Amino acid sequence: MSAPDLLNTTLNFYIADISTAGQTYVPIPVGFDGTVVEIRTALNGVITTADAVLTPKVNGTAMTNGAITVAFTSAALGDVDTSFPTGANAVRVGEAVEIETDGGSTVTAPVFGTLVIRR
């Protein structure tokens, strides 16, 4: 059994339809102040026509290197996409991380995601 990771913590989020332009907000609870160092998503459907782009933001500013492109070519259930934000990624209790979808793809497809926050 591995030792618990005391440096990183995670917050999960859900987007009901990656193919519809809009925003999802992930609140930062007490004890989760830190820096978003990784974002992972898992596609729970199949998208077509175009890629879907997810842009994470803090206080309206996009995270540097944080955008995730979910490709429609070869899209399949369970596809995992990852980004590693390098700037504008500090989060504080009481704030919310905005995950903006561009609605570029078609076909309703939910996405589950995880924010990895280094404390």
Model pLDDT, residue 26:
97
Model pLDDT, residue 1:
62
Is 92 in contact with 32 (CB distance < 8 Å)? Answer: no
- What CATH number should be reported for the domain holding residue 107? 2.60.120.260
Name the residue range of residue 81's domain. 8-118
Residue 3 resides in a domain:
no
d(CA 42, CA 55): 15
Residue 1 resides in a domain:
no
Per-residue pLDDT of the chain in tens (119 residues, 90 and over written 9)? 677 777 999 999 999 999 999 999 999 999 999 999 999 999 999 999 999 999 999 999 999 999 999 999 988 999 999 999 999 999 999 999 999 999 999 999 999 999 999 99
Q: How far is CA 84 from the centre of its chain?
A: 10
Residue 25 resides in a domain:
yes
d(CA 35, CA 117): 5
Number of structural domains found in the chain: 1
pTM above 0.85, yes or no: yes
